[in-house]
Amino acid sequence: MRISFLGAIREVTGSLYLLETKTTRVLVDCGMHQGCSTCGVQNHIDFPFDPKTIHAVLLTHAHLDHCGRLPKLIKGGFKGKIYSTLPTIKLATLVIEDALHIMEDEYRREGTPVLYSKEDVEATLDQFEAVDYSRDVTIGDLTCRPRDAGHIFGSAFWEVYQKNGPSVAFSGDLGNRGSRILRTTAQLSAVDALIIESTYGNRIHEDESTRELKLREVLENTVKHKGVLVIPAFAIDRTQQILFEMNDLFEKKLIPPIDVYLDSPMAIKATDVMKEFPQYYNNEARALAASGDDLFDFPGLTLTMSRDESKTINEAPRPKVIIAGSGMMNGGRIQHHLVRYLSDPHATVLIVGYQSEGTLGRELHDGKKHVKVLQESVNVNAAILSIGAYSAHADQAKLVQWVEEAAALPKHIYCTHGEEGAAVALATRFVQHLKVDATAPHPGDTIEL
């Protein structure tokens, strides 16, 4: 068995692995490069393999950096099936269609070439095949099994077993502790090799109780000072976690009522998908839903689907909370709110997710006092706060614990999907703490198992 590390290697976006045996060729994920100046070019470069020769794709989850180049694969002649859970198919459909709209917009405004067409997207959706957690899929001489990764709704890590050969697991992205909606990451089986994400390979998140306290505090302060709280949130998972916790705080009357605007069509649609599959919730959330509670809705919440509805938020009285995408602030409706509120000393921007290098979110997170948003130069007078525990990613401690609690320790570990420092730090931690062979591969590296 041969594995080639083709994307999200020593960086966090563009996930792509090629797994080959003598008779079978499978890809794990086919994601888009995002948030960097060269990303557009990287996405357009031809794949280092012929898409026609690939038998199937194993998709871990619906984030764009894992599924965003699937239509490009189809455009290149890929005819096989794309396997993932049903919620992932529904969410990936939203994500890919949204990506196409953004690219078509950019083409109209700036002439930037689009990566694929509507027809390619439609063909992609036709090639999806749903498979539930712990069900086996046979592809040539490989048996492939998705397991619950607990990262976002429907997310999976894949275990792959070659007939009379080695086994390998691809972690995809692994979930953080303490999700109020998702189940915890399933136990890793005994496999020969593990390819594991390392987004937070060198960091430890604050704990969940701090998270709820911080959210409560920032909401209370917003009400007290008649402020504006702007929360840039990823449309899938982070938004729903925040809505869930706000719903909880309001129901328990732990915070005073405040108007909340969910200003993201994608997040509104993703929330609907999550409501459709309560069987994927953890026990607590499932029981709540079964009791008739709408987990993601509360008095004071307004969903603004259209642009016109979105504009009314500007005139809405304070205090108010605005949740909008994109999560890293490099696009989407959040930018309009940032132009308006970043210079306002009574506003707060609450960062609840990973901010990759080169994004506006990263600049704000790092404390920059002047930034450019939508071609405008803006002074940053708003408070910039962050709550790391909302991350949908496991931190170093959880990553190590997950491997430690596997049915057996893998013989080899490869740390990917993390910036260089994080990937190398995690590999070093595995070597020192678990005494296993662990490395951080370089882009294009190939290993034989």
Minimum distance between the CB of residue 157 and Zn ion, rounded to whole angstroms?
12
Strand ranges (E), 275-369: 301-303, 320-324, 347-351
Minimum distance between the CB of residue 440 and Zn ion, rounded to whole angstroms?
19
DSSP 375: T
Minimum distance between the CB of residue 223 and Zn ion, rounded to whole angstroms?
33
Minimum distance between the CB of residue 190 and Zn ion, rounded to whole angstroms?
25
Residue 98 or 173: the one with the smaller Cβ distance to Zn ion is: 173
Write the CA distances from 185 to 22, 188, 386, 426, integer angstroms: 32, 9, 24, 19
Residue 173 or 363: the one with the smaller Cβ distance to Zn ion is: 173
Minimum distance between the CB of residue 172 and Zn ion, rounded to whole angstroms?
7
Minimum distance between the CB of residue 318 and Zn ion, rounded to whole angstroms?
34
| Of residues 170-209, those binding Zn ion (CB under 5 A) | 173
Residue 173 or 395: the one with the smaller Cβ distance to Zn ion is: 173
Minimum distance between the CB of residue 211 and Zn ion, rounded to whole angstroms?
19
What gap in Å lies between CA 156 and CA 149, rounded to an integer? 5
Strands 128-130 and 137-139: unpaired
Structure tokens at 77: 């002649």
Count of residues engaged in binding Zn ion, rule: CB under 5 A: 2
Minimum distance between the CB of residue 350 and Zn ion, rounded to whole angstroms?
20
What gap in Å lies between CA 294 and CA 288, rounded to an integer? 8
3-class SS of residue 312? helix
Determine contact, residues 261/298, Cβ cutoff 8 Å.
no
Q: Is 25 in the site for Zn ion (CB under 5 A)?
A: no
Minimum distance between the CB of residue 151 and Zn ion, rounded to whole angstroms?
6
Strands of the sheet with 446-448, listed across from one edge? 128-130, 81-84, 56-58, 25-30, 16-20, 2-7, 446-448
Strand ranges (E), 251-319: 259-262, 301-303
Write the CA distances from 321 to 145, 264, 288, integer angstroms: 41, 13, 25
What gap in Å lies between CA 408 and CA 194, rounded to an integer? 11
| Of residues 157-176, those binding Zn ion (CB under 5 A) | 173
Determine contact, residues 344/381, Cβ cutoff 8 Å.
yes
Determine contact, residues 2/189, Cβ cutoff 8 Å.
no
3-class SS of residue 147? strand
Residue 249 or 328: the one with the smaller Cβ distance to Zn ion is: 328
Tell me whether residue 239 is exposed, middle or buried, using C-beta atoms within 10 angstroms of its C-beta: 0 to 12, 13 to 18, 19 or more: buried
Minimum distance between the CB of residue 199 and Zn ion, rounded to whole angstroms?
8
Cβ atoms within 10 Å, residue 45? 8
| Of residues 50-79, those binding Zn ion (CB under 5 A) | 63
Residues that bind Zn ion (CB under 5 A): 63, 173
